[in-house]
Amino acid sequence: MDREEDCKEALEMKLPNQVEQDLVDRLTEIPGMADLLKKMTGGMRGPEGELIEFKLKRDQHSYLYYEGPRGEMYCYTPWKSTLGWYYAYTMQPYGKGSQSGNATQWRARNVVRFRKRNLAKKTALHRLYKAKGD
């Protein structure tokens, strides 16, 4: 029964950093669950179509973000991916609630990669300032 509750809890999650790592580890042992979790969390892909994955410790966030004027999030990754890249991207809301500010679904847009974290952070901030008109 405990495993079923864990599955239901994971299905309600929307963003990758909201799912606890130990729960993800347990769920990925179930056949087919890894693909389902990637589908739920977006399975974000880089500029060349590569799947972006991280090996994070318990209290590490997979991304940090700045909220834009129209509800979009300008994100960057503070940790290197498994391929050794830092990423900057825009998360745009879509679907039900996206126009009213109550979005439940997000898409990654304008994904770019960098070898240095400060360049990814500067890119996210630059996009935010450009959206605000500053």
pLDDT, tens digit, 9 for 90 and up, residues 93-129: 888 887 787 878 888 888 898 999 999 999 999 999 9
Same domain, 27 and 72: no
Is residue 76 in a domain?
A: yes
pLDDT mean across residues, the chain? 75
Host H or E run for residue 96: none
Domains in the chain, number: 2
Same domain, 77 and 36: no
For position 54, what pLDDT does the model report? 76
Q: Which domain holds residue 95?
A: 58-134
Is residue 133 in a domain?
A: yes
Q: Is the pLDDT of residue 15 over 70?
A: no
Same domain, 71 and 134: yes
Supply the pTM of this predicted model: 0.61
Same domain, 66 and 109: yes
- 66-89 average pLDDT score: 89
Which residue has tokens 């179509």? Answer: 49
Residues in the chain: 134
